[in-house]
Amino acid sequence: MNLNLLHDMFDAAPEFWFTLGGCALLLLSLLLFITLKYLKTKQRNYFLNRDRERYAETLYASRDGYFAFIYPDDKVNDPIKEVVGRCSRRLAVILGLPGGIKSSFDDVLKNFYKEDIKKIEKYVSLLRKEGTSFEDFFELKGSKKFVRLEGVRINGADGSIYCDMIWFRDITLTTNRINVLADERKKIEENYQMLHDMVDNLPIAVWLRDDNLNIIYRNKKYNELSGYKSKENFSSDQSEICDAIGESLTKELAANAFKNQKPLTAIKGIVVEGNRVAVEASETPFYAEQNLSKLYSTGCLVNINELDELKRTQKQHQEAQLMILGKLGTAFAVFDKNMMIDFYNNAFVSLWGLNKDWQNQKLSYSRFLDETRENRLLPEVPDFKSFKKEEQKIFSNILEPLSDLLHLPDGRTIRRTRAPYLLGGVIFAYEDISDRLATKSAYNQLVTVQNEMLNNLDDGVLVFGSDNKLKFFNDAYIELWQANKNFLISEPSFSELLDSQKSFFDDLENWEKLKKGIGNNILNPTTKTLSLKRRKNENIQINVAHLSDESLMIVYSKI
């Protein structure tokens, strides 16, 4: 029934129904179009928001903070009607702003010194008025932190001004490192200048060659000798010191040193101010910077004119000394640094009984020891091999003269003196002191007998030397004066000995007067005897004898 009604209605006015259906279809299509456009707009806004969040987070993650002056967009109906300042989260952290991201630019400026604030304000004024970029660094007030400021204008593709941004970067670590490096560089430059001055003021020429034998460094003395005019020590300009015929003095020497990789020296001659000068040139190769591929050579030139003169003078003195030694009765011989005999006199040949064949040969010290041992002219030793080895050691370790005695099997005693020789080796001096020792022994025996005789006397005996010191006393004196033996051994003076006798006299109040009287009488050359009265009525007779060696003998006898 309903279907029939609808059918009748359609049949009654079909145009109406077609129009109504078209409108419905059109409305549906419009609704579908709006829905699709809405969905696309929503999707686009979603991605725009995501990108904006990414860019924002990217800025937040940056180590630089920023302060932005954001302008209204004159291309659209922008709700922002005036410039807005925005502080980044990172900037608030760098400067320690209490207001955080809500801080104003004035809050930012409070962290700088007054003079720096004026400078920053001028930079920002030029940026905002003319878009002039800037870059500078400043120290934060009240801290040792440094920040770098960089101002830049951000424009859109259509030419509109988006914002003016001032980037802040904490460069404290970098600045401190730069300061440290600057201090280190200053010290290095000072050390370099000091070394440069030291090398430049050496009295010898010094230079440096590279592996192509080119001179890359020279000091002031080198420049003087080579005629190099420039004050630049490091230079590729080759200026060689030449010999008398105009050839390089050391280039060939350097080439040989490089080839053999060892230091080489040579005696050369150069002309200085019209005078020929003898010099010793040296080239010493080395690997630079511990790099085996960089072989350099350092050279020097030493004036040896004075050294040559000294050597000639020394040789003349040496020949004169050897000539004198050759005429002396003491036996002398010189063995060089190779232990070969270099000089000997006739007394040396006579002392050791050397034959003519030995004299005509330049034999070693080892052979000399062998021959003198065969002739029984060396001390008897249980191990001659060890003895010989010790004897030869003297050539390597002697620093000062040494003396010893050689007791020969034939009864002679030889005093041997060994001393380092000026040109290397050892000089030997031998002296037969057998008679001297015998004389000394006889003298010592005579003195011993005399001492025994004086010690067996009942009278006390004292002997004072020419220096007024006690040299001898006997047991009778110790007993007579109850003297301290250690005191007497210490060699007291005549005055000190009289003081030790003080307790044996009664008139001690006038001791100094009594002492002076006793001393004057004993020391008087005309006095032979005198008497002293000691306490308890003891009488002492004193006999005085002034001996020929200016010594004084005093004999005390108890009466």
> Greater confidence, 274 or 418?
418
pLDDT digits (tens, 9 = 90+) for 224-263: 777 665 555 555 556 777 766 667 778 888 888 888 888 8
Residues in the chain: 559
Please state the separation of Cα 399 from the chain's center in Å: 27
Superfamily designation of domain 318-432: PAS domain (3.30.450.20)
What is the pTM assigned to this prediction? 0.41
Task: Find where tokens 């390089």 sit.
Answer: 248
Which secondary-structure segment (H or E) carries 33?
A: helix 14-61
Asked if 365 and 339 touch (Cβ cutoff 8 Å), the reply is: yes
Residue 19: per-residue pLDDT: 78
Q: Can you name the CATH fold of 62-170?
A: Beta-Lactamase (3.30.450)
Asked if 208 and 222 touch (Cβ cutoff 8 Å), the reply is: no
**By three-state DSSP, how is residue 68 classified?**
strand
pLDDT digits (tens, 9 = 90+) for 42-87: 777 777 677 666 766 666 667 788 999 988 876 666 666 688 888 9
Which secondary-structure segment (H or E) carries 445?
A: helix 434-455
pLDDT digits (tens, 9 = 90+) for 424-437: 888 888 888 777 77
| Amino acid making up residue 9 | M
Q: Could you give the strand order of the β-sheet that contains 552-558, starting from the edge strand earlier in sequence?
A: 470-473, 460-464, 552-558, 538-546, 529-534
Backbone angles phi, psi at 511, to 5 degrees: -60, -40
Torsion angle defined by CA atoms of residues 172, 176, 182 and 188, in that order, rounded to the nearest 10 degrees: -160
pLDDT digits (tens, 9 = 90+) for 351-396: 887 776 665 667 788 888 888 888 888 888 888 888 888 888 888 8
**By three-state DSSP, how is residue 247 classified?**
coil
| Amino acid making up residue 539 | N
* pLDDT of 1 higher than 80: no
The CATH code that applies to domain 205-303 is 3.30.450.20
> Greater confidence, 284 or 241?
284
pLDDT digits (tens, 9 = 90+) for 332-352: 888 888 888 877 777 887 788
DSSP class of residue 100 equals: G
- Please report which confidence band the pLDDT of residue 124 belongs to, taking 50, 70 and 90 as the band edges: very high
SS3 readout for 349-381? HHHHCCCHHHHCCCCEHHHHHHHHHHCCCCCCC
> Greater confidence, 475 or 153?
153
Instruction: Count CA within 13 A, CB hemisphere, residue 153.
Output: 17
Rounded-to-integer distance, Cα 75 and Cα 159, Å? 10
Q: What is the arithmetic mean of pLDDT over 269-289? A: 78
For the chain, helix, strand, coil in percent to 5 are 45, 25, 30
Asked if 422 and 398 touch (Cβ cutoff 8 Å), the reply is: no
For residue 16, what are the CA distances in angstroms to 13, 157, 262, 403? 6, 55, 121, 155
SS3 readout for 191-227? HHHHHHHHHHCCCCEEEEECCCCCEEEECHHHHHHHC
Options 3.30.1600.10, 1.20.1440.230, 3.30.450.20, 3.65.10.10; CATH for 450-558 is 3.30.450.20
Domain ranges of the chain: 10-53, 62-170, 205-303, 318-432, 450-558
Q: Please tell me if the domain spanning 62-170 has the same topology as the one spanning 450-558.
A: yes
